């Protein structure tokens, strides 16, 4: 029952983060700056170390970091292909396609958060409780990030809300999945490494540049550092 209760909490934390992003739309550049730091922080301080630990008995560190690079380059390729398509077709629907892909990747990450939480409880309640703190912190930032990537591309409010709900439900779905079968640790490590690459690209190549667009860089840079620091501290307390 504990994992399911945490799934409900993850839903609430994600919705709260998204609500904050919607409420402060006039200060979106600051939210984007925080989101950039949070996304990069999740990749460097949690996903990559966790992936290396899960895969250490099967894969070398070079292989795991290569999967991180593969994730980064795959997202780069997808980004560029969609941007070329957007330049060729200037309609609003096509321009929004990139934001939907990014919101979808955030939702899949939230699904993996739930899978990781469910597997942690399979080890022991104590391990599950430690992982839960990190997951709930991630989910709050994921709610901000999901809304931000939609609004950043001029998406409609209903689209942002729809993706926010999908992202909020994803951790609970991930937890439920682990009740029916288990995932080999090394395979989960590869998935986490791949998504670390995705997140590094989203943070460094999209959110950081956009947060500085037509705004003073001091406060947006400050918020990026705050976002990374918040995730670092939360993960340190979690482990």
Average pLDDT of the chain to the nearest whole number: 80
Q: Which residues, 6+ apart, have CB-to-CB distance to 59 below 8 Å?
A: 186, 189, 190
Helix (H) or strand (E) segment spanning residue 177:
helix 157-177
Helix (H) or strand (E) segment spanning residue 147:
helix 125-152
Look at residue 33 in the predicted model and tell me its pLDDT.
80
Cα distances (Å, whole numbers) of residue 82 to 99, 202, 226: 10, 14, 31
Which of these, 53, 51, 45, lies nearest to 69 by C-alpha position? 51
- Selected residue with higher pLDDT from 232 and 213: 232
pLDDT value at 170 more than 90: yes
Look at residue 147 in the predicted model and tell me its pLDDT.
84
Cα distances (Å, whole numbers) of residue 145 to 10, 53, 168: 15, 26, 12
Tell me the whole-structure pTM to 2 decimals.
0.68
Look at residue 76 in the predicted model and tell me its pLDDT.
85
pLDDT value at 86 more than 60: no
Q: Which residues, 6+ apart, have CB-to-CB distance to 108 below 8 Å?
A: 170, 195
Q: Which two tokens stand for residue 165?
A: 């709900």
175-184 pLDDT tens trace: 898 888 777 8
- HSE of 99, CA atoms in CB hemisphere, 13 A: 24
Look at residue 72 in the predicted model and tell me its pLDDT.
93
> C-alpha dihedral over 133, 135, 141, 147, to 10 degrees?
-140
Look at residue 212 in the predicted model and tell me its pLDDT.
62
Highest mean pLDDT range out of 63-67, 185-189, 204-208? 63-67
Q: What is the mean pLDDT of residues 93-119?
A: 75
Q: How confident is the model at residue 173 (pLDDT cuts 50, 70, 90)?
A: very high
Q: Kindly list the domain boundaries of the chain, sorted by start residue.
A: 2-238
């Amino acid at each position: 029952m504990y994992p399911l209760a945490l799934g409900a909490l993850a839903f609430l934390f994600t919705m709260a983060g998204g609500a904050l992003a919607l409420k402060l739309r006039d200060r979106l550049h600051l939210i984007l700056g925080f989101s950039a730091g949070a996304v990069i922080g999740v990749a460097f301080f949690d996903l990559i170390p966790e992936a290396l630990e899960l895969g250490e008995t099967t894969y070398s560190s070079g292989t795991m970091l290569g999967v991180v690079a593969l994730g980064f380059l795959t997202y780069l390729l997808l980004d560029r292909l969609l941007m070329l398509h957007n330049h060729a077709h200037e309609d609003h629907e096509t321009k929004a396609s990139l934001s939907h892909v990014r919101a979808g990747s955030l939702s899949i990450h939230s699904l993996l958060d739930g899978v990781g939480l469910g597997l942690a409880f399979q080890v022991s309640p104590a391990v599950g409780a430690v992982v839960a703190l990190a997951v709930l912190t991630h989910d709050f930032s994921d709610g901000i990030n999901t809304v931000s990537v939609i609004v950043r591309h001029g998406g409609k409010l209903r689209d942002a809300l729809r993706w926010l709900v999908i992202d909020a439900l994803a951790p609970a779905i991930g937890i439920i999945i682990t009740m029916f079968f288990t995932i080999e640790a090394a395979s989960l490590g590869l998935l986490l490494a791949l998504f670390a690459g995705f997140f590094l690209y989203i943070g460094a190549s999209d959110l950081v540049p956009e947060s500085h667009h037509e705004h003073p860089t001091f406060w947006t840079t400050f918020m990026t550092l705050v976002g990374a620091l918040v995730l670092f501290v939360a993960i340190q307390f979690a482990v």
